[in-house]
Structure formats: structure tokens, C-alpha cells
Amino acid sequence: MKNIRLTLVFYIAFLMIPLYWLFNMSLKTNTEILSGFSLWPTNPTLDNYITIFSDAGWYMGYVNSTIYVGLNTIISLAVALPAAYAFSRYRFMGDKHLFFWLLSNRMAPPAVFVLPFFQLYSSIGLFDTHIAVALAHCLFNVPLAVWILEGFMSGIPKEIDETAQIDGYSFGAFFLRIFMPLIKSGIGVAAFFCFMFSWVELLIARTLTSVDAKPIAAVMTRTVSASGLDWGVLAAAGVLTIIPGAIVIWFVRNHIAKGFALGRV
């Protein structure tokens, strides 16, 4: 028992090292970071964070990312909810093949889609807009959300739908008032996965934006200045990038295992 606990402590410590080091760096000045090895900051400073919160070039990165990630999550769920309902409740020609094909979309690397998206969005005037990135990410997020939600929905007996129909509920009222509360953990998990993918995705987001919708991940890759890399600010930006994900994970922590199993636990 003691050995297990000790192993766990070491394992967690091992996982936490990069996070700690990032946080440690974010509280140091560039001079201290480059001067040598120190386990904690000798003169802790919040200057790096202040730089980010006061420079529009930095904080707009967060704002842009939040906008398109939020948009993507809403669009993905709005599209995936009815699609997943159809897959879970109706039998139609090719339903099983279509269902598998949806997920196989995720098997292609994002780089494959960068060129067509860039060309298409440029030609219709969507380049460098939040909606462009949000829509592009839907290509990956909608199938995943459909898979997760379908699993959760199939766990709800079809007789509940029929009882509501017999009771006189319109389909919309049934879906919003009876069905959605039953799969709320599934919706939470699907939203989490959409959020996470969109938040960490760099290639498509960077290619489809230049100034107005530039995401934080792209801003972070452009910190090389005449004086070299701004290590401290970069570390502070990294810490701030982790926070939204951590908050979302906190909310869905109890359902995450079922979500990883695509609702089929």
C-alpha cells in the first residue's frame, strides 16, 4: 500500500515538473531565466503577466481564441445534437456506414485540409475571421460530438420519447425539456472535447488568420524579437493558456471517463 502511494506521488511529481517549471519561469525575469539553474524565482515578479494583460497584441490573442472556440463549441453541439438523435433513434439507408465515415474524418491530419480551407475561405472573404476558424474546426469536432452524444442518447430508452409523444409534447418541447436534461453529462463531455480540440489546434487556426482573428497559440509562436526570445512572457502566456482548459475539466470531471468511452460505459 505504501509502495503504491509512493509510486503515485513520484508519478504525479514527474507529470507536474513541466507545469511547475513553466509557472516558475513565468515569475522570473529573462535575465534570471538565462543566468542559470534555480528551483524557484529569487526575485518573483508579475511583470510578465502585466505585459500580457496590457499589450493588445497579447491579450487579443486570448480574446480571439475564446471567440472562435466558443463559436465552434456552440455550432458543433447545435449540429451534433440532432444528428446524434437521428443516428440513435432512426434506421435509414447507410446509417452505419455514415456513422463510421463521420469518425474516419478525424483520421486525416489537419494539414490535409489547410490548403482547401485557405483557398475557399480567401475566395469568399472569410479569411481572418473568427467564424472561419470555428467552421474549419467543425470538420473535426462535429463527428466527435456526434459519436459521444449518440452513445449517451442510445442509453436513454426509446419508450421515453414515445411516452412524451403520447402525453402530447411537441418534438421541440420534448427534446429541450425532457431529453436534453437526461443527456446533460454527455453534452458537457462533448462540449469539453470540442473546446479542447479547438483550443489547442494551431495549424488551421494560424493559417486561416492574420491579424483580426489571430489565436493565442499563433501569438506565442511569434515572440522572437530583436533581443531574442522573451522567455518570461512566453511562460506566462503558457500558464494562462492552461487555465481555461483546467476550468472546463473541473466542470466535467465526473463524466470524463464515460466521455472517453464515447458514452458507451
Partner 1 sequence: MTLTLNNINLSVDGEVYLSNVTASFKAGIFNTLLGPTLSGKTSLLRILAGLDAPDEGTVKFNNGDITNIPAKKRNIAFVYQQFINYPSFSVFDNIASPLKVAGVSKSEINGRVEKISSLLKIDTMLSRKPSELSGGQQQRVALARALVRNADIILLDEPLGNLDYKLREELRLELPKLFKETNSIVVYATTEPEEALMLGGNIALLSEGKVIQSGPTMDVYRRPQNIQSALTFSDPPINICAARSLEIANAHSIGIRPHHVKLKRRNTADIELNAHVTLSEITGSETFVHSLALDQQWTTAIHGVHHFNAGDEISLYLNPANFIPFDASGNTLAILESEGV
Residues contributing to the site for partner 1 (CB under 8 A) = 157, 159-160, 162-169, 173, 178, 181-182
Q: How far is the CB of 165 from partner 1 (least distance, A)?
A: 5
Q: How far is the CB of 194 from partner 1 (least distance, A)?
A: 24
Identify which of 257, 250, 70 has the alpha carbon closest to the alpha carbon of residue 151: 257
**Residue number, 23 or 175, with CB nearest to partner 1:** 175
Residues 140 and 110 sit within 8 Å (Cβ to Cβ): yes
State how far the Cα of 252 lies from the Cα of 154, in Å rounded to an integer: 20
**Residue number, 23 or 169, with CB nearest to partner 1:** 169
Q: How far is the CB of 41 from partner 1 (least distance, A)?
A: 50
Q: How far is the CB of 184 from partner 1 (least distance, A)?
A: 9
10 Å Cβ neighbour count for 136?
27
Residues 31 and 228 sit within 8 Å (Cβ to Cβ): no
Q: How far is the CB of 40 from partner 1 (least distance, A)?
A: 49
Is the four-CA dihedral 65, 71, 74, 80 of positive or negative sign? negative
Residues 245 and 196 sit within 8 Å (Cβ to Cβ): yes
State how far the Cα of 253 lies from the Cα of 250, in Å rounded to an integer: 5
**Residue number, 187 or 236, with CB nearest to partner 1:** 187
All three cell numbers of 63: 480574446
Length of the chain: 265
**Residue number, 164 or 191, with CB nearest to partner 1:** 164
**Residue number, 173 or 224, with CB nearest to partner 1:** 173
